Amino acid sequence: MNTFGQLFRITIFGESHGSAIGVVVDGCPPGITISSEDLLPDLKRRQSGGRGTTPRMEADLPEILSGIHENHTTGAPITIITRNGNHRSSDYDLFRDIPRPGHADYVARIKYAGFADMRGSGHFSGRITWGLVAAGAIAKKIVTQASITASLISAGGLQNIDEAVEKAIAANNSVGGIVECRVANPPIGLGEPFFYSFESALSQLIFSIPAIRGIEFGAGFAATSMTGLVHNDAYTGSGGQTTTNNSGGVNGGITNGNEIVFRIAVKPTSSIGARQDTYNFKEQTATVLHITGRHDACIALRVPVIAEAAAAIVLADLVLIDRSVSGKTHCM
């Protein structure tokens, strides 16, 4: 199921070591000003996670195949791809028999009866999020009133992210982290109960990103320790402003106009240099796996720009829906 969205619909395709990866964005209104250059800033943020992420050889430059003409969206589906570089894919043969712990190798083999292209982790690779970021850059042009910003707020349980990452690198190991995303000045009234509430739509998209283990909105899990009197956000003004923001900008699945706040839990990278006990499924014996090559010590470093893209895509979809089916008579 590689299509997401109701009106602003994205379809993701590609494998890590295949010919190309990309995205089709369907349902984007016509007349939005955009060019390849507009996609570059977010694509570059995704590409270069800095220390703790593997250096990418690919330029990952976007090529627009359809849907944009004379720097404007046309109303037809927008297709954007980037070519994959050359890879030494033979490294991955080993993982057919000795699947990497924590990785998709094992389930992919069973689900796809051995036919999945798992070179570079194939369609399960984090590389596939490239299309999400490209689509997010377009979505941001639809919800221009909102300001979307995500950042890594902890790694390995520490707020000192550099320290956690260096420690993991030194140990041929990896660490997880928490990414927080905030949307200032969001449109009010976005979200379609019962099953396409703001949180429902966003969490569906967020959990598509590899390595995500949890999501929480506003006070999140901490809300479970609060009383109602503390948790309830008291209204203070006619614009719906509140004293606190424990709801994270969403009530009843619908944005209330206050800042949207959500946090996502990113697990530590599965592929690590340290030796791991595991199982050889062909030989049916215990074994020790030593994964060579370079790996992200902290994939969470790459996630903020993807989280922003996800938020933008969901907001764009919900804006388009709300414009049609709400009782509001204004236009965007």
The angle that helices 129-140 and 36-47 make with each other, rounded to 10 degrees, is 130
Residues 302, 304, 305, 306, CA torsion sign: positive
CB of 149 to its own copies, least distance (A): 20
Distance CA 102, CA 269 (A): 9
Strand 78-83 relative to strand 63-66, pairing:
antiparallel
Contact 83, 127 (CB under 8 A): no
Pick one of 87, 185, 251, 259: the residue that binds its own copies (CB under 8 A). 251
DSSP 144: T
CB of 36 to its own copies, least distance (A): 11
**Judged by CB under 8 A, how many residues of this single chain contact its own copies?**
159
Site for its own copies in 132-161 (CB under 8 A): 154-157
Task: Collect all residues with Cβ–Cβ distance below 8 Å to 251 and sequence separation of at least 6.
Answer: none
- Give bridge partners of residue 26 from the DSSP assignment: 9
CB of 108 to its own copies, least distance (A): 7
By the rule CB under 8 A, 47 interacts with its own copies: no
* Residue with tokens 């697990």, as numbered in its chain: 267
Q: Which two tokens stand for residue 197?
A: 């509430």
By the rule CB under 8 A, 189 interacts with its own copies: yes
CB of 12 to its own copies, least distance (A): 5
Pick one of 185, 188, 245, 259: the residue that binds its own copies (CB under 8 A). 188
Distance CA 199, CA 172 (A): 36
Pick one of 94, 184, 256, 306: the residue that binds its own copies (CB under 8 A). 256
Site for its own copies in 85-104 (CB under 8 A): 99-104
CB of 92 to its own copies, least distance (A): 12
Site for its own copies in 263-302 (CB under 8 A): 265-272, 274, 276-279, 281, 284, 286, 300
Q: Which two tokens stand for residue 178?
A: 């928490």
Site for its own copies in 161-180 (CB under 8 A): 168, 171, 173-178
Shorter beta-carbon distance to its own copies: residue 118 or 148 = 118
CB of 78 to its own copies, least distance (A): 8
The angle that helices 303-325 and 198-206 make with each other, rounded to 10 degrees, is 140
By the rule CB under 8 A, 321 interacts with its own copies: yes
Phi, psi of 209 (to 5 degrees): -70, 130
Site for its own copies in 50-89 (CB under 8 A): 63-67, 69, 72-79, 81
Pick one of 97, 117, 166, 259: the residue that binds its own copies (CB under 8 A). 117
Contact 46, 129 (CB under 8 A): yes
Shorter beta-carbon distance to its own copies: residue 143 or 155 = 155
Pick one of 56, 59, 240, 294: the residue that binds its own copies (CB under 8 A). 240
Shorter beta-carbon distance to its own copies: residue 9 or 44 = 9
Distance CA 89, CA 110 (A): 20
Give CA angle at 179 (149, 151), nearest 5°. 35
Pick one of 161, 165, 315, 320: the residue that binds its own copies (CB under 8 A). 320
By the rule CB under 8 A, 41 interacts with its own copies: no
Shorter beta-carbon distance to its own copies: residue 146 or 155 = 155
Distance CA 111, CA 89 (A): 21
